[in-house]
Amino acid sequence: MAAAVPGDLPNFEQIQQAHTVLANNFARLAHLPAVDQGAAIMGRLERMEQRMEQMLQQMQQILGMEARLAERILASNVNSLSRLHNSQLSAPELVLAPLHHPVSNAPIDDFPATPAALTGLPIAAVNTLLTALGESIEGSTTVRRQRIRRAVGLKELAV
C-alpha cells in the first residue's frame, strides 16, 4: 500500500477554527431583524395588507361616485339644451325637447310631446313629472303646472 503524503492529511486545527467561526456566525443569526422580529414583521405586513384592502374599497367607492356625478353632469347638459330648445317654441303645438332624469340621465317616461299636452296633463301625471324633474309637488294645480313650464324651459303663462 502506498504511504500517504504528509501534505494530503487534513488540518484539524483549521477544521476546528472553521467550526468555531461557523458556530459564532450561526449564533449571530438570532439578531437579524427577519429572524428576531419575524412575528412583528408578519403582523405589520398583515396590517398593511388590510389597510391596502380598505384603500382599494375606498377607491372603488370614489370611482362609483365619480360615475354617478358624470351621469348627473351629462343629464344637466342634456336638460340645458332641451330647455334652450323649448324656450324658443312659439306655438303650443310645436314639439318639446324631452328632459332626462337629473340623477340617472334616463329619458323621463311619458314626457309631454307639446306645450299643449303639458297643459292638459292630469294632476297625477303633473306630480309624477315634477317628481321626475326633482321639483316640489307642493302648491295648487296652477302653481305646479307653472313649475313644470319653468322646469322644461317654457315661458310662464299669465295667471
pLDDT tens track for 34-49: 666 777 888 899 999 9
Q: Distance of CA 5 to CAs 29, 43, 64, Å?
A: 40, 59, 83
So what's the pLDDT on residue 154? Answer: 93
Residue 101: inside a domain: yes
Per the structure, how many domains does the chain have?
Answer: 1
Residue 132: inside a domain: yes
Residue 120: inside a domain: yes
pTM over 0.85: no
Q: Tell me the β-bridge partners of 3.
A: none
Tell whether the model's pLDDT for residue 15 goes beyond 80.
Answer: yes
Whole-number Å distance between alpha carbons of 72 and 85: 20
Residue 130: inside a domain: yes
Closest CA to 154 of 104, 119, 128: 119
What confidence tens digit (pLDDT) does each residue in 93-133 have? 999 999 999 988 999 999 999 999 998 899 999 999 999 99
Residues spanned by the domain of 79? 38-152
Phi, psi of 107 (to 5 degrees): -60, 140
Confidence of residue 5 (pLDDT cuts 50, 70, 90): low
Residue 6: inside a domain: no
